[in-house]
Chains A and B, each alone.
Chain A
Amino acid sequence: MRDIFLDLSARSVHLNLLRSVLASIGIVIGVVAISSMGMLGTNMQLEVKDQLSTGANTIVITPDTVRMGPPGSEPSSSSSSTDITKTVLAKIRIATGDSGTVIPVHRTNTQFTLGSVPGRASLYGLDPDDITKFLTIGNGTNIVGMNDALVGSTIASNFNLKLGSRIRIGSESTGQSVARIVGIIDARGMSSDNINTDNAIVVSDDWYVNQYGGKDEYPQVNVIVKDIDTISGVESAIDAKVNTNEKTPTVRISDASSRLSGISSSLSTMTTFILAIGGISLVVAAVSIFNVMMMSVNERVQEIGILLSIGTEAGEVRRMFLYEALILGLLGAVVGGAVSLVMGYSVVSAMIGTTAYYFLPASMAFIPEGMVVGMIVCLVSGLYPAWRASNLDPIEALRSE
């Protein structure tokens, strides 16, 4: 049996179809905004998490630069006063023992020249024996000779670098050295081991020290643990061995999970922010629905008077107007949900470059969530008009024209 009040509400919406559709468009926009924005944020998080899962078994140790530098100063990677020393490195090796491999990392940013074309890239200095422990050389071989270098996939593509190409590393003012490209490293994306090689040049540690100095001084040391379940134990051992003074720790120790949680927190904040922007459109939609509902009540005052005078309960009149708000909400939510599916796909594809995560439940969930929020907004917008209708004086209402 169909509810007579639902019938009345549906007929009222049908009678004022254009007005109802226009009001629902606000809800459509609101649902599309929060669904698409939510899916964009979630896809971004999933993409970053996936990329960071490379190197999840790696502990990243960096100097506690805040303690070492003067207050307010920027820590410098090339300054010996902020690097991990030989003594500290030895302690890290002892603390790690057989549980993992310790990889000291030299790093800086550098200019380079390919022929007459200048460029900038990150430069890593690594022991060649360590390189293949965490990097995959897709094309070419590992560093063997003193002047051999590896490049990341992005830089190789952007500068059309090939095996055997020679590049001059360094600026003219600080001196340049020629290196020969012997291998191209596979793309890694944003890795959680804090070694991002896609837009980088990797040279041997000896070459690096010859060019930039800093022997036995490292801005970063990575520890790749054999068993990921032991990662927190190894971290604790290193912390106990190196950071002997709790108030003034020597190094900062982090791993993928702590880095992930930090980045996830930032991305989550950003997602919330863009969702809030989407939410603004729902507020506008709520005002529109409220306005339409008030118009409906004002136009139907006499009808409400008739209903009340012949024995309709106030709650039934309220229900009738809430049904009307819900019909508008349902209309907007269904259309908004369908549009979100297409719009969200386009936005994610355009902004992130991949839709690999789009159809995952965490991403798709934003469509029904957006629809429910849209309907709740409609229902809330209809509360006051419905309450007002049910509280009309039947005599006054009957007199109105």
Chain B
Amino acid sequence: MTGNPLIRLADVTKVYHLESGDFTALDRVSLDIGEKDFVAIMGPSGSGKSTMLNLVGILDVPTSGTVQIAGKDVARMTGPERTRMRRDTIGFIFQKFYLIPLLSAYENVEYPLILKYKKRDTAGRAAAVLRSVGFDGALGSHRPSQLSGGQQQRVAIARALVNDPGILLCDEPTGNLDRKTGLQIMDILCELNEKGKTIIIVTHDPKISEYANRTIELEDGRIAS
């Protein structure tokens, strides 16, 4: 860990109650992630990687144990407080990009700014962030369906960055991209880490995990190494 603990999981268990029976996705996991860390979470399918990312991203709450983000216990936060923390402190980058199909590339990046400041971006922040991730400004008015995978992921990264969050959560961010574009995206993430962002990346790809300064192996819901 290269800084103070920004994220703390203490004895976290997550059990899903399925029709086929209870499934323990995470089993008494404890973990500290500091500021400016670049952490890769690896493991086979069903090992609990996405569950851990969802808990850190405050999209879910643990069955037992505590998850703290920036010193705040997620379980004690109200719904609107969690929403605000997701909006202001955490940026999400997904394998499938998950851009809003009805909005243009530019509007997708502007959207989190509108959520936060309740007004349109007149300062050019969205356009500046789009440029910073290497997105061609001429494509700003294009809908996501009119963009290539690499361009869509750049828009998704810009959207995650536009509110200047401290934490970036990346779920297989290169999974839908060709090798070359994937490496370009990883270069962008490394640059962001160097600028102070805490990055947690879930991946199956050992080559991708090499970019991280710390790798956590999960197996059957437990930390194997």
Q: Please report A residues at the B interface, Cβ cutoff 8 Å.
A: 1, 4, 8, 11-12, 15, 302-303, 305-314, 316, 394-395, 398
Contact = CB atoms under 8 A, between A and B. Distances in A.
B92 A310 contact: yes
A325 B28 CA distance: 46
B111 A4 contact: yes
26 contacts: A4-B111, A4-B114, A8-B100, A8-B102, A302-B98, A303-B100, A303-B101, A303-B102, A305-B98, A306-B98, A306-B99, A306-B100, A309-B59, A309-B92, A310-B86, A310-B112, A310-B115, A311-B112, A311-B116, A312-B83, A312-B115, A313-B80, A313-B115, A314-B79, A314-B83, A398-B94
B103 interface: yes
Interface of B: 54, 57, 59-60, 79-80, 83-84, 86-88, 92, 94, 98-103, 107, 111-112, 114-116, 119-120, 159
B98 A398 contact: yes
A177 B54 CA distance: 103
Contacts of A305: 98
Contacts of B80: 313
Given A314-B79, A395-B59, A12 B102 contact: yes
A15 B102 contact: yes
B87 A310 contact: yes
Contacts, number: 57
Given A4-B114, A309-B57, A311-B88, 4 more contacts: A306-B98, A306-B99, A311-B83, A311-B86
A309 B92 CA distance: 8
Contacts of A313: 80, 83, 115
Contacts of A307: 100
Contacts of A1: 119-120
For the complex, would chain A's binding face be called helix, strand, loop or mixed by DSSP majority?
helix
Contacts of A398: 94, 98
Q: Name the 7 nearest CB pairs between A and B, nearest first.
A: A311-B87, A11-B102, A311-B86, A306-B98, A4-B114, A313-B83, A395-B59
B103 A8 contact: yes
Nearest to A4: B114
Nearest to B102: A11
A303 B101 CA distance: 8
Nearest to A316: B115
A159 to B, nearest CB: 73
A308 B98 CA distance: 12
Contacts of A8: 100, 102-103
A4 B107 CA distance: 9
A310 B111 contact: yes
Nearest to B51: A395
B196 to A, nearest CB: 21
A90 B143 CA distance: 94
Contacts of B59: 309, 394-395
Contacts of B107: 4
Nearest to A11: B102
A4 B115 CA distance: 9
A12 B103 CA distance: 10
A285 B83 CA distance: 36
Contacts of A302: 98
A1 B59 CA distance: 31
A311 B98 contact: no
B86 to A, nearest CB: 5
A398 to B, nearest CB: 7
Most chain A CB inside 10 Å of its own CB: which residue of B54, B87, B115: B115
Contacts of B159: 310
B25 to A, nearest CB: 12
Most chain A CB inside 10 Å of its own CB: which residue of B60, B102, B103: B102
A395 B112 CA distance: 19
Most chain B CB inside 10 Å of its own CB: which residue of A4, A15, A303: A4
Nearest to B171: A398
A318 to B, nearest CB: 13
Contact of B60 (A303, A306, A310, A395): A395
A309 B102 contact: no
Contacts of B101: 303
A335 B54 CA distance: 47
Nearest to A12: B102
Contacts of B114: 4
A396 B60 CA distance: 11
Nearest to B98: A306
Most chain A CB inside 10 Å of its own CB: which residue of B54, B80, B101, B112: B101
A305 B101 CA distance: 12
Nearest to B119: A1
A305 B54 CA distance: 13
